[in-house]
Structure 1
Amino acid sequence: MITDLVRARGIRYATSSRFAPPTPVTWDGVRGDERGPACPQPPSALLAVVGNSVEGLEFSEDCQVLSVTAPADAAGLPVMVWFHGGAYVTGSGESFKYETSLLASEGVVVVSVSYRLGVFGYLRDNLGLQDQFVALRWVRDNIASFGGDPANVTIFGQSAGGDSVYALMLTDTESLFHRAIMQSAPLGTRSPERPEMTAALQAAITVDASTSAADVLEAQLAAVASLGPQFVPSGGMPFAPVVEGDLGAAASRIELLIGHTADDGSPYVPSREHWEAVTELIFAGGARSFVADWTAAGGEVATYLFKWAPENAPLGSCHCMELPFLFDPEPWLGAGMLAGAKPDPELAQTIRSTWAGFARDGLAALPSRTLEFGG
């Protein structure tokens, strides 16, 4: 395992005024060590489950930053670009919970991306998705300076980050990445009424450039509380990019690894009977349907199921449970979902080496096209 790493935090890849498309920022080569800001956001709905993912970060609408972790002697290494989750309304790539040192130690260059959220990023024009594309162009143009190979880029993300991977795959016309990992993407919320849900939000949230960020968030919360129940299942993730892409074009050039946790739905409903139904409706069923469409379009894919859960865990192998295995576990200790336990270090090593191996050599690196972890 590589232990000598270099880090550059809070690199600005774009700037913009409110509700405007991102303007790319040319990197000056400076490698800072201060974490960048998070987009203004309400408290996470999963705070009791995963803890505070933005603790210690400043909030700013000027949040289009990324951070890089790489082996010190990197040269031509595969690149992994992380898109965080949080239902498109919370979280940040700068979070301490996404510390990438152990993953980079597997011999990959890791980039963590922050992008605009909620009303700021997804009320109109898919601005958050535009941010993500500008970040990927930054990677293409600059990652060789960190020893990364711009011709071998894997994008990966969990929850809304996994949904971001979906949207990026379907709309990338520049071949900015070559492989993709979708972790617990809530594809079941991508129902036919999503455009109608977005239109309803646009009608309900009447804010402009002069509205304070606090008032924007207040309007966002009020609209979600009112409209979310009217648009099930899309209302479970009201803010998301509305895309119409070319599945065939994506499937022809991208290798895909997709999966979910065994009990993804458990944090969202009160009983085991209901959490199994939510897991199937939003996560498992959506992934299975997408895999069928992907393979029908000629795509190559492997699937995984993450089953590890701490003993006597009240939520089982719940949403986000694989994250302390993929990233450094220390910031996750004490999270409610772990019920006082620590992630199994051998399983964590397996997860990181599997993800890094896929980034390096694609599906050929995997021991099987159907993977299970833990349980």
Structure 2
Amino acid sequence: MLITTRGIRYATASRFTEPVPLAWDGVVGTTERGPACPQPPSALAPVVGNSVAGLTFDENCQVLSVTAPADASGLPVMVWFHGGAYVTGSGESRKYDAGLLASEGVVVVSVSYRLGVFGYLRDNLGLLDQLTALRWVRDNVEAFGGDPANVTAFGQSAGADSVYALMLADTEGLFHRAIMQSPPLGARSPERREMTAALREFVSVDESTPVDDVLAVQKDALSMAAARFSPSGGMPFAPDLGEVDLTAAASWVELLVGHTADDGSPYVADQPEVWDMVTELVFAGPARQLAADWTTAGGQAATFNFKWRPDGAPLGACHCMELPFLFDPDEWVGAGMLAGQEPDPTLAKTMRNLWAGFARNGMDALPSRSLEFGE
């Protein structure tokens, strides 16, 4: 039996201000999903479906949900950061319902945070939201049967990039292992600082600008960044990390990082001849390099390549293809990337077991330092 507690507020914030932590009221088993940050429709909706269907929207979106076995005690904790290019998505999405993963003997926490102009135009506010959520986990997860001394941060796409930023920003030891699924590290080019400055000049909004107007300006800013900056213009709203030194984080975080075989295909869907190139430049190559750099910096790292694809899949083993293998597959029915098929249940069980095992025992749980899933 599992207990899910939804929509817990871990902080509040006025527009363009740092999050203020909120004390938990101690209530377990709530069912109402919290709000998502205001956002445009996802560009990947034809591939994955509508990830925010049924949710409300509110700038005050600092909420999280916890799923745990009813008899949990001292279990590993896995904290999920959703993707969406830092402009779409929510941890409250039904697509991230974590019952099957929690059934592997872990406590799963799904985090929502500010996006786009609201979270990343200035001061890395979305990143500060995420750090505040991790502190909430440290202070409260024991009440759900989780072990605050054994926390794994994991995420996909922008969520994986968030985990990368969190590893560099965390000076408190808030988590101990990390799983990065398809991080778009190739979009972290040296021009990001210049692009961030250009965005701040381009986006003229303040605390009183209506939400719809903010989103309209954000849309124009996304177009400007895509035209002027490449490849970082594909993900212009993201944490500004400055100079990167992996040494400190590598000394205390075990890392599992990887990608799907055709990660780049949704972004150049009409150019199959360049799928491999985009996948290699933005996702696969940088993931391998990070693992190598992590080891050089004194840490432990492993990689994975997710190759499963349904018959007739229009985009192959594309970006997001592994997600129905970790979360509730019923919520992914109808996703265009699956071509009307269902995830292989045996492979899904294997992946959930490995993810939970890594959260429990780190590198010792992995059969290899270079994993492959699917054909």
Shorter-chain TM range is: over 0.9
Q: Distance in 2 between matches of 1:299 and 1:273?
A: 36
What letter matches 1:232 in structure 2?
Answer: S
Indicate the residue corresponding to 2:302 in structure 1: 302
CA deviation vs aligned residue, 1:217-250 (integer Å, no higher than 9, x gap): 0000011112222110000101000114431000
Q: Is the 8 A contact 1:171 1:246 kept in 2?
A: no
Aligned with 1:12 (options 9, 14, 23): 9
Q: Give runs of aligned pairs for residues 230-309 of structure 1, distance below 5 A.
A: 230-244=228-242, 245-269=244-268, 270-309=270-309
Q: Distance in 2 between matches of 1:227 and 1:5?
A: 44
Q: Is the 8 A contact 1:188 1:286 kept in 2?
A: yes
CA offset at residue 292 of structure 1?
2.0
Q: Give runs of aligned pairs for residues 138-217 of structure 1, distance below 5 A.
A: 138-217=136-215
TM-score by length of structure 2 reads 0.98
Q: Secondary structure at the match of 2:149?
A: strand
Q: Secondary structure at the match of 2:249?
A: helix
Aligned with 1:54 (options 37, 46, 52): 52
CA offset at residue 288 of structure 1?
1.7
Indicate the residue corresponding to 2:121 in structure 1: 123
Kindly indicate whether residue 25 of structure 2 is the aligned counterpart of residue 28 of structure 1.
yes
Q: Secondary structure at the match of 2:47?
A: helix
Q: Secondary structure at the match of 1:353?
A: helix
Indicate the residue corresponding to 1:137 in structure 2: 135
Query: Which range moves more in the overlay, 280-289 or 39-48?
Result: 280-289
Q: Secondary structure at the match of 2:279?
A: helix
CA deviation vs aligned residue, 1:124-176 (integer Å, no higher than 9, x gap): 00000000000000000000000000000000000000000000001110000
What letter matches 1:29 in structure 2?
Answer: G
Query: Which range moves more in the overlay, 177-186 or 23-32?
Result: 23-32
Q: Secondary structure at the match of 1:253?
A: coil
CA offset at residue 39 of structure 1?
0.2
CA deviation vs aligned residue, 1:28-63 (integer Å, no higher than 9, x gap): 112321000000000000010000000000000010
- Of all paired residues, the percent bearing the same amino acid is 73
- Uncovered stretches (5+) of structure 2, i.e. residues with no partner: none
CA offset at residue 204 of structure 1?
0.2
Q: Is the 8 A contact 2:225 2:234 kept in 1?
A: no
Q: Is the 8 A contact 2:255 2:291 kept in 1?
A: no
Kindly indicate whether residue 97 of structure 2 is the aligned counterpart of residue 103 of structure 1.
no
Q: Distance in 2 between matches of 1:222 and 1:327?
A: 34
Q: Distance in 2 between matches of 1:246 and 1:374?
A: 34
Q: Distance in 2 between matches of 1:80 and 1:227?
A: 34
What letter matches 2:62 in structure 1?
Answer: Q
Q: Is the 8 A contact 2:63 2:111 kept in 1?
A: yes
Q: Is the 8 A contact 1:116 1:127 kept in 2?
A: yes
Indicate the residue corresponding to 1:40 in structure 2: 38
Q: Is the 8 A contact 1:156 1:181 kept in 2?
A: yes
Structure 1 stretches of at least 4 aligned residues deviating more than 4 Å after TM superposition: none
Indicate the residue corresponding to 2:337 in structure 1: 337
CA offset at residue 277 of structure 1?
1.0
